[in-house]
Amino acid sequence: MSYSVIIRAHETSPLLVRAIQCLRAQSLPPREIVVVDSSGSEQVAQRLRELADVHVPYGAGQFNYSRAIHLGVAVAAADHVLVHSAHVALMDPQLVESAFQQAAAAKCAVFYFRKGVSTAYDNIDITRFDGRNGLANSCAMIPRNLLLQRGFREEVFSAEDQEWAAWFIREQKGCVLRITSPACVYENPHLNIQKKVNEDLAIACFVNRHERWPNNIAARLGRAALACVRRRPERARLHWLVAIGLLGSYFKPTQRKSRYF
């Protein structure tokens, strides 16, 4: 099985170097590693050219996750594409080869990895998809022809992976294999509350539209109040910001920047 790796990067960090080293150490190594570079720096670009097999400049304009993926898919040479975060490391060299075998046995065209304390394999089909478990583009293997048929939507400002999964699972009747493994390490130094707020807003606007209904917004406000009582201010702030954002979506379309956090 042949696959190209697409990594979106704006800097050369030790995490990126480790991610690429782990990919090249796989028993089933990638045909190529494609880096989509949004740094705008010639110095960074030169270093990324040394690390990757194919270097793709993002170009001018505001950064958009989906557009970065599309640029990588356009030049990918293999039949499958592994959309891979610079913050992920596949520490087990057998992980990708084993995943292809498990996916074939489960008759799943798409699979993705997530970190966990123990190994587990879950088929996510129309009966199990909840709008949040369909895909994780931090490390997802997708046939290239599917991404050419229907790419990630650029107007989806966050959770573009879940919006794509909704199309694949609900409309195409597809099945995704979710692989939980302690060998999948995710260390994103930029995680914060705004990233989670944007994800929840995008899921409500593009995937699970019932989450915008007034009763569910009221439930969010109730959860914010409960979190305050329990002295969990960050949790309260999360629910409050999502509720206010959903209320605002009734007056104008929700728009956020698709960016690194």
86 CB-contact burial (10 Å; exposed 0-12 / middle 13-18 / buried 19+)? buried
What is the rounded distance in angstroms from the CA atom of residue 65 to the CA atom of residue 67?
Answer: 6
Q: State the Cα–Cα distance between residues 202 and 219, nearest whole angstrom.
A: 18
Angle at 130 between CA 212 and CA 142, to 5 degrees: 115
- pLDDT by position in tens, the chain (length 261): 899 999 999 999 999 999 999 999 999 999 999 999 999 999 999 999 999 999 999 998 889 999 999 999 999 999 999 999 999 999 999 999 999 999 999 999 999 999 999 999 999 999 999 999 999 999 999 999 999 999 999 999 999 999 999 999 999 999 999 999 999 999 887 778 888 999 999 999 999 999 999 999 999 999 999 999 999 999 999 999 999 999 999 998 776 665 544
- In CATH, what class is 3-186? alpha beta
pLDDT confidence of residue 259: 56
| Per-residue DSSP letter, 112 | E
- Rounded-to-integer distance, Cα 219 and Cα 84, Å: 35
Structure tokens at 28: 């089933």
pLDDT at 60: 87
- The pLDDT value given to residue 74: 98
Q: How far is CA 118 from the centre of its chain?
A: 21
Which residues does 163 contact at the CB level (< 8 Å), separation at least 6?
152, 153, 156, 202, 206, 207
| Closest among 91, 104, 102, 88 to 179, alpha carbons compared | 102
The domains of the chain are located at 3-186, 193-248
Give the pLDDT of residue 253: 76
Instruction: Give me the pLDDT at residue 243, please.
Output: 96
The pLDDT score that the predictor gives to residue 258 is 55
Please, what's the largest Cα pairwise distance for the chain?
Answer: 55
